[in-house]
Structure formats: C-alpha cells, structure tokens
Amino acid sequence: MNILLLGYGKMGQLIGQLAESRGHSIAGKINIDNREELNSLDTKAIDVAIEFSQPEAAVANIKWAIERGIPVVSGTTGWLDQKPEIEQLTLAEDGTFFYASNYSIGVNIFFKINEFLARLMNETTGYKSSVEEIHHTAKKDAPSGTAITLAEGIIRNINGLTDWKLSEDAFKNEHSLPITSKRIDPAPGTHIIRYSSEIDDIEITHTAHSRQGFALGAILVAEWIQGKKGVLSMDDFLSF
C-alpha cells in the first residue's frame, strides 16, 4: 500500500516505521509545519491515509482525504463532537472512514470485558463505578478517548448512570460516572475501571507497555480496509 501519514508525531513516526517493515510505502508525512505539501501530492496514488494528528487539525485532515476519495483510518481523540459531520461527509462522498479511540487489540478486548462487568454490576447494589486513566504528559486531551469509550460502555449497561464527568465532584453524584485523568511520564497508557463499596473494591486494568500495539493495529486496519466503503469501527474489523 501507499500510505499517507496525516500527523507525524511519535505515533506517526512509529506507524511509518512499522508500515515500511511490512513492505508498504509512505506517500507523505504531514504535520502542522508542512501541510502545504498536501497540494503537491498525487492523491490517486494514495491507498489510505492514517490520521494521528492533533484535535485541532483532525477534522480538516479527514475532510481533505475523504473529499479526494482517500480512505481514512483515524485515531486522533479530542474532536469527536464533530464526528457526525465526518460520518455524513463519508456517506455523501461514498467514501471510507474508520475511527477507533484505540487500535490496540488488547484494549478492544478490554472494552468488551468492561461492558460484561458493567452488566454484572448492574445487578448489584452499593457500588460506585469510576474510571481512571494515566498517560504521558505530552497527551493534550483529557480524558483520553479510550477512557471515554470505557465510560460510555459502563453508562450503557448500568441503570441510573446518565453521563460522565471529569471531576472529583462526580463521586458525589450517583447519576454521573467520574473519570480521573493523570499525566505522568513515561506512561503510554493505563486505564482502570473501579467499583467501590464499603465492603470491597473490584478493579480491572489495562496497561500498555509501549505504543507499538496501537501503531500495528492501525496498520492492520489500513490493510483490511482496502476495497471497503462506509463508516467502520473496530467492531467491524474484529467481528465482535
């Protein structure tokens, strides 16, 4: 495949290295400093764009690719209030857009375990659920997209929870799910789901040891997405 990298920070660089090791070519490495190079690219020669940029750049990057018929695999978080607009554009252009808050296979298994545990806990009383996430200090958005996905999975399965809040005050509100975000180097990503009661605590944890699982997952999706159309997700890729 000929891959365009939209975003060339640590993740973009690792994706590029792994992609080339799998026999793929890199059509361009675009970041905030060289975005004008998009104008000189042969877009018809690009098989897929892998977009790991910044929240403020994601929408423009994705639109640029979709409008030119380039399938997009996106992992940028912090912009999802505009995701419906991107999905509508994808359908209108008969394009291909794949989004995941996390491309690690292990994390996506963790998502399913999280929902299963939430359904079990919905049958109990006396527990307060919460989410904690820990990332490196270079991560700009909080909470992480993965933490939001986990929170949404809990809210869908526990009666009485209506929303999540990034606030200690949410611990006092029985209808809100509290998320705590910590920024500590060099943590690539830890997510803890906790159910606390006066009697005991129940916890499940996913800890990433490096970014490699995220990067490889994005490349595997880019390989899989060839020839497919529409708005797709990890559930489609993993056939959950």
Architecture of domain 105-207: 2-Layer Sandwich (3.30)
Span 17-73, pLDDT tens digits: 999 999 999 999 999 899 999 999 999 999 999 999 999 999 999 999 999 999 999
CATH topology of domain 2-103+212-238: Rossmann fold (3.40.50)
Helix-strand-coil split of the chain, %, nearest 5: 40, 25, 35
pTM: 0.83
- 135, 172, 175, 182: the active-site residue: 135
135 is catalytic: yes
Q: What is the pLDDT of residues 140-168, one digit of tens each?
A: 789 998 999 999 999 999 999 999 999 77
pLDDT at 211: 87
Concatenating the DSSP letter of every residue in 39-104 gives GGS-GGG--EEEE---HHHHHHHHHHHHHTT--EEE---S-GGGHHHHHHHHHHTT-EEEE-S---
Annotation says 172 is catalytic: no
Start-end of CATH 3.30.360.10 domains in the chain: 105-207
Mean pLDDT of the 11-21 span: 96
In the chain, which segments carry CATH 3.40.50.720? Answer: 2-103+212-238
Of 36, 39, 52, nearest in space to 3 by CA: 52
220 pLDDT band, cuts 50/70/90, is: very high
Whether 176 and 161 have beta carbons less than 8 Å apart is answered as: yes
Active-site entry in 29, 63, 128, 139: 139
